[in-house]
Amino acid sequence: MFSFTKEQKVFDISGVCIGGQPGMYPTVLFGGLFFKGEPDFEDAKRHIQIFYERSKQTGVPVVPDFFIRKVEYIEPILSFIEKIIPKKQPFSLDIIEPSLKIQTLEELSSRKLLPRTIYNSLHIGMTTEEYETLQKYTPEAAILVAFNPKDKSPDGKIEVLENGAHLIENGLLKTAQTIGITKLLIDTAALAPGENSGAAIAAIPVIKEEYGLPTGCAIHNVVEKSRWLNDFPFAKKTVDVSSNTTIPLFGGDYALFGPIENTELIVPLIAWQDILISEYTENYFGISPVASHPRRKLLK
């Protein structure tokens, strides 16, 4: 359990606070929707309602993370967000294809949704068109993926943030700043087993100490790519959910935990972990949890 000498930034993104010293704010959970197949909006509505209910019950903040795979999904997914996501709550958009990112940013602007948008994500593969569109239509916050194909260690992740590993003109931090995005979340880029996947966790306290920025990752991706776990389906679910506890334990602020269907398992688990961390950090470092923290909410 950690306390950092660097001043830790806390960003309020449409009412969800993320960052700070460990034990101060609860871990923010991003639950993914629409990874595969046609978007099932009725099923998504049900899962989002459970997501928010468990968040209210435990004090663990949550952010729905919508994956957009096709151009024809942009309009119905954004309409769904307008209808279902509370007006003062943030959401995240996970898009891989640059052309889809550009079209989605334009649509977000026309719907006045950019102030609630967490852009997932900025990385070294950004195109000039995407960069220019982001300058024109700037979201409230963005996730910066510290993936360095030349060096997958924590030092390599720092290099991407600082100078782009000399693969792009500027580092991701400067790139985001020139775009005008002020609320930056660092993703330590969890890779497949055999690709120094553990560095995603090890890099969390390194980046927090270096920059004081909210930091986390999608450690769930490592579990998904651990094929040997397919021989142990019952254990795989346990590993998938429990892997996310390593993020707050190493001082992290948020977890992209994968499918929102895992809400009932992961939200109380993270609440439990946050309580343990808060108890220790307050007793040892004097870090008091906020009033909405699971330790305040659940231990009465």
What is the bridge-based pairing of β-strands 16-19 and 10-13?
A: antiparallel
Mean pLDDT over the full length of the chain: 97
**pLDDT, tens digit, for every residue of 85-104?**
999 899 999 999 999 999 99
pTM of the model: 0.97
Tokens of 240: 């998938």
pLDDT at 282 over 80: yes
Nearest to 213 by CA among 174, 184, 246, 241: 184
How far apart, in Å, are the Cα atoms of 289 and each of 28, 61, 113, 136, 253?
14, 14, 31, 38, 14
**pLDDT, tens digit, for every residue of 137-194?**
999 999 999 999 999 999 999 999 999 999 999 999 999 999 999 999 999 999 999 9
152 with 173: CB under 8 angstroms?
A: no
Phi, psi for 73 (deg, rounded to 5): -90, -15
Mean pLDDT computed over 119-146? 97
Q: Is residue 81 very low, low, confident or very high in pLDDT (cuts 50, 70, 90)?
A: very high
Cβ contacts of 203 within 8 Å, gap of 6 or more:
146, 153, 154, 157, 158, 188, 215
118 with 185: CB under 8 angstroms?
A: yes
Q: Which residue has the tokens 């993104």?
A: 13
Q: Is residue 280 very low, low, confident or very high in pLDDT (cuts 50, 70, 90)?
A: very high
SS3 for 17? strand
**pLDDT, tens digit, for every residue of 231-279?**
999 999 999 999 999 999 999 999 999 999 999 999 999 999 999 999 9
pLDDT for res 300: 76
In the chain, DSSP finds a helix count (H) and a strand count (E) of 12, 10
CB atoms within 10 A of CB 135: 12
CB atoms within 10 A of CB 58: 22
Distance CA 37, CA 172 (A): 32
pLDDT at 1 over 80: no
- Ranges of each domain in the chain: 10-298
The DSSP line for 155-199 is HHHHHHHHHGGGSSSS-HHHHHHHHT--EEEEE-----TTS-TTH
How far apart, in Å, are the Cα atoms of 7 and each of 125, 178, 206?
30, 23, 14
Q: Which fold has domain 10-298?
A: TIM Barrel (3.20.20)
